Amino acid sequence: MKTLPSIFAAMSLAAATVSWADDKLPDYYPKSFAVFGVLSGLDTRSQTLAINDRGQRYDINIRVHTLNSQFSSLEALRPGMTIGASVAGERITEIWVLPKSYRPAFPSAPH
């Protein structure tokens, strides 16, 4: 017989899965992103990210956010992740890791 805590944990996990499947993002995520795509590479020496196979420099003080953590780091990023980003000038300043199923309401502007 399952205990109440294990049933609650299973229900919480199911609720979180449904939220992400419906593309409901955490409250600390913005409504839209300047850049959207799949991370295809990261080079910390040249401070460059490749999004959809196109290189773009990132700011030295870049902020990274994941679905499970409001504040993370570049170490959380992996090629193949779907991401959204904000840009200031010519550099990416902030990244949000998105569910693979996420599709933006409006396409990002070309860079």
User: Do the Cβ atoms of 37 and 52 come closer than 8 Å?
Assistant: yes
List, in sequence order, the alpha helices (H) in the chain.
Answer: 4-21
User: Domain 26-98 is in which class?
Assistant: mainly beta
pLDDT surpasses 70 at 82 = yes
pLDDT surpasses 50 at 105 = yes
Per-residue pLDDT at 79: 96
Per-residue pLDDT at 110: 55
pTM: 0.73
Instruction: Give the start-to-end residue ranges of the domains of the chain.
Output: 26-98
Per-residue pLDDT at 106: 60
When pLDDT is averaged across residues 73-91 and rounded to a whole number, the result is 96
Q: Helix or strand or coil: residue 29? A: coil
Beta bridge partners of 95: 64, 85
- Mean pLDDT, all residues of the chain: 81
User: Do the Cβ atoms of 74 and 44 come closer than 8 Å?
Assistant: yes
Task: Count the neighbouring beta carbons within 10 Å of the beta carbon of residue 36.
Answer: 21
User: Do the Cβ atoms of 23 and 36 come closer than 8 Å?
Assistant: no
Phi and psi, residue 45, nearest 5°: -65, -40
Rounded to an integer, what distance in angstroms lies between the CA atom of residue 85 and that of residue 65? Answer: 10
pLDDT tens, residue by residue, 14-68: 333 333 444 589 999 999 999 999 999 999 999 999 999 999 999 999 999 999 9
